[in-house]
Structure 1
């Protein structure tokens, strides 16, 4: 018996193309994320510089009359359940939500997927440059802030208590806040890719994320502001998706019916049909 099987079609069959594209996308996204994670670790031993920058950011916020991060944290500390929920949101929602967002776009809105993936790549790359050039300790490490490290006290925590011993995360990469930047892009991407009257509610995700990252003392207000500016730059650089005809996004561009008394257009001038001649019109 021959060991050869009958091919399903050219180049492995009709399903080979989509499978190759899916594998390529998975490898690309995983590779970009691995480069980002590896790059962040290059500034983990710059403790003194990160604390000095934290003092500068704290002073700058007071000069700008931004509200103190402690005001949000005091709201969370009203109950153990509330602060535990905020810590869980910080630890468990950020990355899975972004992955689900990209998967949904890949399956349902391929054009929007490419746009969102490119925007996130530009945003994350710009964030990595800032992480390396401007190491920043989060407010939970700044004595002048008088804030509680809620993750260590109430749990759960994604960081070790001593930043120098944390081999899985760079705790001096507070600016910009990619928790907030990715959440804001998720909301904008879903608003752009859907047509529900309730799609504006996607903005609740970045709003809750902002309150969580500030209230848990993981980020300053300026971290979110800088993330917003970088995202705005990425949106300007990356072209908007081209939506093909037939999708919900282009229904408004379909031609309107001709009015009976409207002016003739070149497209409306045709040879009279036999039926119209016979009708005497």
Structure 2
């Protein structure tokens, strides 16, 4: 009977290094993808016009609610500035430790989608609602409530470090995209009703937060979901490509072609492997043992 070689869980230090390298490349790419401000504003206004034509205008009422109600606006700003960077790595660690069978595909899906998002930032720099002229009716709640948190008036970056982020990387919304990934992981791998409930609530809450704080348009959120969908389709091909590269350059045979220990080896005359069972008497051989 042929047995498939077991897949071993990746080493934690190689995974950490890989994630750090990809995230550093992503962060650097966001900075390098800074486009012309006037182009970003034009793109933001085009999205706003498209939403109005489609009767999609959830941003304005949500933004008014958050800006006029500190009890909602302040927690929303904290959620926007922190959960994106805490929940996603926490779920990656949870999958690595508790659900190793699904970890590699989940990590690859997240990385593929993130790189697609970077492509979107490069091709379509977009001014978020909070940076549009006041006449468009949006309030920057991050700036309004900045005295309550560590951020300043420049996105969710720590106060004084706004120059280290690209404020026009709004299309697609990876806050929503990553939250959707987290929700799918909680729903798929969680074993309690609470985990599954959180899996549904977290991406929905994130979508409300990014619009209410005027950091994203609704269509940014839709694009974030679309990016995750394309990333999911690319996951299996990306894993197969990585396996082939590892087998070729690392000289590691694929799991389906793992060599069998002792395969093709024969014992010398009169030898047998310890514990080897001898053939039963009379089985296709009638020669007495003494005559062999």
Q: TM-score, normalised by structure 2?
A: 0.71
The answer for the alignment partner of 1:124 in structure 2 is 114
Is this contact kept in 1: 2:142–2:153, CA < 8 A? no
Choose which of 168, 185, 201 in structure 2 pairs with 1:172. Answer: 168
Which residue in the other structure is 1:227 paired with? 224
> Which runs of 5 or more residues in structure 2 are unaligned?
1-7, 240-292
Which deviates more, 214-223 or 232-241? 232-241
Cα pair distance change 1:200/1:102, threshold 3 Å: same
Q: 1:100 — aligned with what?
A: 90
Is the CA contact (8 Å cut-off) linking 1:140 and 1:149 kept in structure 2?
yes
Change (3 A) 1:25 1:161: closer
Task: Tell me by how many angstroms 1:237 deviates.
Answer: 2.5
CA distance in 2, matches of 1:217, 1:175: 13
Residue 150 of structure 1 is aligned with which of 116, 141, 158? 141
Secondary structure at 1:77 match in 2: helix
Given the alignment of the two structures, is residue 43 of structure 1 paired with residue 33 of structure 2, yes or no?
Answer: yes
Structure 1 spans left out of the alignment, 5+ residues: 1-16, 242-281
- Indicate if the aligned counterparts of 1:151 and 1:157 stay in contact, CA closer than 8 A: no
CA distance in 2 between partners of 1:232 and 1:102 (Å): 19
Query: Alignment RMSD, CA only?
Result: 2.3
- Determine if contact 1:191/1:199 at 8 Å carries over to the other structure: yes
Residues in 1 aligned to 2:122 and 2:138: alpha-carbon distance in whole angstroms: 25
- Structure 1: distance between partners of 2:218 and 2:175: 12
Who is 1:237 aligned against? 234
Q: 1-side partners of 2:89 and 2:151: how far apart?
A: 18
Count how many residue pairs are aligned between Structure 1 and Structure 2. 223
Deviations 1:52-92 (A, max 9, x none): 11111111111111124111112223422321111001011
Distance in 1, matches of 2:98 and 2:175, equals 24
